[in-house]
Amino acid sequence: MDQRFFVIKKINYLLISIEALNIYSQEYLYNDKNTKISKNIKNIHVHIINNKYYNILPIIIYIFFLYQIINDIIIQKLANDIVIDFSNYMKTQLVKQYLNKFNYIYYKVYNYYNFNDNFNINEIAIINLYIIIKIYKKEGLFFLIKYLYKIDI
């Protein structure tokens, strides 16, 4: 399969994680930043689904928007809190809530396009949180591109 398909697939998984985190943050904080994040996620999602050819320029734009969204301090704090809870207790309310939202978004929105994947969706959800945390660091954009263009999932 085309490598661009795998890149788009990974972007979709990261978008699901960000959406789940953003929904959670909106329950506690409402501000213009959350609205802006939601609009960016929606724009990326619409363009990814409508782009059948996966040209390189739109992929670069998706990566740029994804990087901007991930660098939001609220998203980072939530991702960090969930990873800490997961590594310490695994079954806290925060972790369950995130996994439930991730699963709901995946099966409601993205599974409709049916990638025929055989994997543990919860594992992908937690791995994405680690990736989101790593992207926030100094060499985050490089790490994001490196992760996206690595073929296996």
Task: Judge whether 142 lies within some domain.
Answer: yes
Task: Please report which helix (H) or strand (E) contains residue 41, including its range.
Answer: helix 32-50
pLDDT at 30: 45
What's the number of domains the chain is made of? Answer: 1
Would residue 68 count as lying in a domain? yes
Banded pLDDT at 130 (limits 50, 70, 90): very high
User: Would you say residue 153 lies in a domain?
Assistant: no
Segment 11-40, tens digit of pLDDT: 888 888 888 887 655 544 444 554 555 565
What does residue 87 show for φ and ψ, rounded to 5 degrees? -70, -25
Q: Which domain holds residue 62?
A: 3-148
- DSSP letter assigned to residue 38: H
Cα–Cα distance measured from residue 46 to residue 51, given in angstroms and rounded to the nearest whole number: 8
Q: How far is CA 136 from CA 24, 69, 141, in A?
A: 19, 10, 8
Predicted pLDDT at 143? 85
For 112-125, how does the pLDDT look when each residue is reduced to its tens digit (9 = 90+)? 555 556 678 899 99
What is the chain's length? 153
92: left (phi over 0), alpha (psi -120 to 50) or beta: beta
Is 55 a domain residue? Answer: yes
pLDDT digits (tens, 9 = 90+) for 40-63: 556 555 555 555 555 667 777 777
Identify whether 137 is part of a domain.
yes
Share of the chain above pLDDT 70, in %: 68
Amino acid letter, 78? L
* Interval 98-110: pLDDT, tens: 999 999 888 887 7
In this prediction, residues 74-83 reach a mean pLDDT of 89
- Provide the mean pLDDT of the chain: 75
% of the chain exceeding 90 in pLDDT: 13
Q: What's the whole-model pTM score?
A: 0.74
What is d(CA 131, CA 134) in angstroms, rounded to the nearest whole number? 5
